[in-house]
């Protein structure tokens, strides 16, 4: 009889100790508290902390990949999704949003953007410029390079000469 009594007492004790996370006391982020000297519940990050994935993302951002057909195809796809509404299909800054009254972005074919390094285009996608907001949270670093390569292809398509593509000259009648 004694073991049954001990088991029953333990069962009742465990049932009485029910705790749920939803009923626990907690601190709301950025609310005031007296626990820490600075008076806020948001704690500063320790020195040297790097968010997961940031080192890999920085490595991709540091160096443009080699341009090939696959990169240009990806850039064309991402450009059509992300950039075409404002910049237009040919990069003239005449997209549908501009036709609806949004400020016109510069044409990719103006002298300033033709002379700009590829890194400038990547940085504008990443950080925004003028009325264009940052696409860093919407476009992955590898896709930013793909879009940059595609924009360069758009620029080249309008300003190329036969000397730029000697293999094409051989095909002409």
Residue, of 153 and 52, whose pLDDT is higher: 153
95, 86 contact by CB (below 8 A): yes
How far apart are alpha carbons 12 and 33 in whole angstroms? 37
Homologous superfamily (CATH) for 54-161? Cytochrome c-like domain (1.10.760.10)
How far is residue 4 from each of residues 9, 10, 11, 122, measured CA to CA in Å? 9, 10, 10, 73
CA 64: distance to chain centroid?
16
Q: CB under 8 Å to 120, separation ≥6 — which residues?
A: none
Three-class SS state of 156: helix
* pLDDT, position 36: 85
Tokens of 27: 């601190």
* pLDDT, position 16: 65
105, 130 contact by CB (below 8 A): yes
Q: Rounded to two decimals, what is the model's pTM?
A: 0.68
Closest alpha carbon to 106 in 129, 133, 72: 129
Q: Which long-range contacts (CB under 8 A, 24 or more apart) does 122-130 make?
A: 122/61, 122/64, 122/148, 126/61, 130/103, 130/105
Tokens of 121: 């285009």
How far is residue 32 from each of residues 25, 26, 28, 38, measured CA to CA in Å? 15, 12, 9, 9
How far apart are alpha carbons 160 and 16 in whole angstroms? 80
Q: What is the mean pLDDT of the chain?
A: 87
Model confidence pLDDT, tens digit, residues 46-101 = 888 877 777 888 888 888 999 999 999 999 999 999 999 999 999 999 999 999 99
Tokens of 89: 């299909």
Q: What is the mean pLDDT of residues 136-158?
A: 94
Model confidence pLDDT, tens digit, residues 91-142 = 999 999 999 999 999 999 999 999 999 999 999 999 999 999 999 999 999 9
Model confidence pLDDT, tens digit, residues 31-52 = 888 888 888 888 888 888 877 7
* pLDDT, position 169: 65
Domains in the chain: boundaries? 54-161
């Amino acid at each position: 009889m004694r073991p049954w009594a001990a088991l029953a007492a333990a069962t009742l004790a465990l049932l009485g100790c029910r705790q749920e996370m939803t009923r626990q006391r907690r601190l709301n982020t950025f609310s005031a508290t007296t626990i820490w000297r600075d008076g806020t519940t948001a704690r500063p990050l320790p020195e040297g902390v790097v968010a997961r994935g940031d080192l890999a993302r920085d490595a991709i951002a540091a160096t443009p990949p080699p341009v090939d057909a696959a990169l240009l195809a990806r850039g064309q796809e991402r450009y059509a999704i992300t950039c075409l509404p404002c910049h237009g299909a040919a990069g003239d800054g005449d997209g549908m949003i501009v036709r609806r009254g949004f400020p016109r972005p510069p044409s990719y074919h103006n002298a300033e953007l033709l002379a700009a390094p590829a890194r400038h285009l990547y940085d504008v996608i990443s950080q925004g410029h003028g009325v264009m907001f940052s696409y860093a949270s919407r476009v992955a670093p590898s896709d930013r390079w793909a879009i940059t390569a595609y924009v360069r292809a758009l620029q080249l398509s309008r300003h190329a000469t036969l000397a730029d593509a000697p293999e094409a000259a051989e095909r002409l009648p």
